[in-house]
Structure 1
Amino acid sequence: MDRVEDLLHEALSEYAVQGDAYLARVAERMSPGMGRLALVVLIRVDRFGALREADLIAQLRLPAAETRRLVDDLVTRGLAARTGGEAPMLVGLTERARGLLLDAADERRGRILDSLEDFTLEEKEIFARLLAKFVQRDDLVVRSLDLPQRG
């Protein structure tokens, strides 16, 4: 009999593989030839607002040169812009990037709803709470507590 941590590891590993493939497809649709890591930069900037390159480097845990190369590529593609003139230089999204990320979010929501189609409402609520707790994101746990409670 499998241990629960082995089953979770296998499921999460598969989910990570599927997630990487999904990000690569979205990146390619946004701008042909763009890689998954460049999309991750856009997602970070979208989530946190304009960021200093140093903050991006710290968040992504990538070498500074690689992060700067990713930002340079995004600027060339018209998806990111550097602002602030002198140091610290901020990296922000262009309107085009915002629109593409909104389209991707709509698609992602649809895919999630499709995946949850066979779940009951109660199972969806439980899954959301447990996943938020599992990834140790207090902000998600608090928001998941706002889900309707069963009495």
Structure 2
Amino acid sequence: MKGYWNKPEATAETIRKGWLHTGDVAVRDADGYITIVDRLKDMIITGGMNVYSVEVENAIAAHPDVADCAVIGVPNEKYGESILAVVTPRVGATLTLDALKAHCRTLVADYKVPHLLELGAVPRNPSGKIVKHKLRARIAAERQAPHA
């Protein structure tokens, strides 16, 4: 890649000292195999612990009452970020934060369990990928809106 079309700032951020920085976070196992686990900008840091949003999303998606979900970090004064799960329940299902937490505790470490739950639609692009920047903007706008 030579750069982004008419976006010199984005190019400079992505290509540094001749290296392409994709923003992917990967882990290497004992056999040397590398697995992409998340995007750096989607990683949540809560209480000094790194939480990969996709791991939490996979745990939430395994709940029988969940049709769709996404996980983002939202500002928290004490912990840096709180884990917010945005969940679309299956038709006719009801889902509470306590039920979701109990389910997730069976699949992920306690510090990765969502702190907050919002029920609603998850924005996706035409290929089905979660559009997290739109989700973050929507949540930020909702949190700033005066409550009537």
Is the shorter-chain TM-score for this pair beyond 0.5, marking a shared fold? no
TM-score norm. by structure 1 comes to 0.26
Instruction: Decide which structure has greater strand share.
Output: 2
* TM-score, normalised relative to structure 2: 0.26
Larger Rg: 1
